[in-house]
Amino acid sequence: MKTIIIQGSARHDGNTSIIGNVLAKNLKADVIDLCKKNIHSYSYTHEHMEDDFFPLFRSVVEYDLIVFLSPVYWYTMSGLMKNFLDRITDCLKVEKDTGRKLRGKAMAAVSCGSEPIATEGFFIPFTLSASYLGMRNLGNLHTYIDEKTPNEHVLKSLEQFSEKLKREV
């Protein structure tokens, strides 16, 4: 099982990255940090074709499991993650063969916040996008860091979620 984690935090070394490192170790996954990529927002006229999106996306579709990892920014995913998801539209209109490679792929979403309770509705865009794209949604997990490192409860949740993902891919 080839797994990729797409991390969408504005800080490449923040709390979301800490969660991503634990998850990557548990899943033996590669990590893409969107903060280090130049991905423009979606344009109806497809004017941003020369940014990092297409080369990145062409590599992403070669994985069996795609895990979207985003901090909770104002009750929703980060802008970086939203831009990435919005740009999948280019793969449905411009590079249709690349976009079709998502069909049947497994995906999951993980949030990282500062509170132990998940934000209501946070995962809806991921769930609906998976359905629209014909992907198998293996579930969602909310994590949080209230100090400098994840507590035992969060680490256990990440371990159990990772095992679930490995079983279901």
- List Cβ<8 Å contacts ≥24 apart for 11-16: 11/35, 12/36, 14/71, 15/71, 15/112, 15/114, 15/145, 16/69, 16/70, 16/71, 16/112
**Where residue 88 falls among pLDDT bands split at 50, 70, 90?**
very high
- Cα 114 from Cα 144, distance rounded (Å): 5
pLDDT in tens, 17-66: 999 999 999 999 999 999 999 999 999 998 888 999 999 999 999 999 99
In the chain, what are the domain boundaries? 3-168
Contact 108, 165 (CB under 8 A): yes
Position 67: which residue type? Answer: V
Q: Specify the CATH number of the domain 3-168.
A: 3.40.50.360
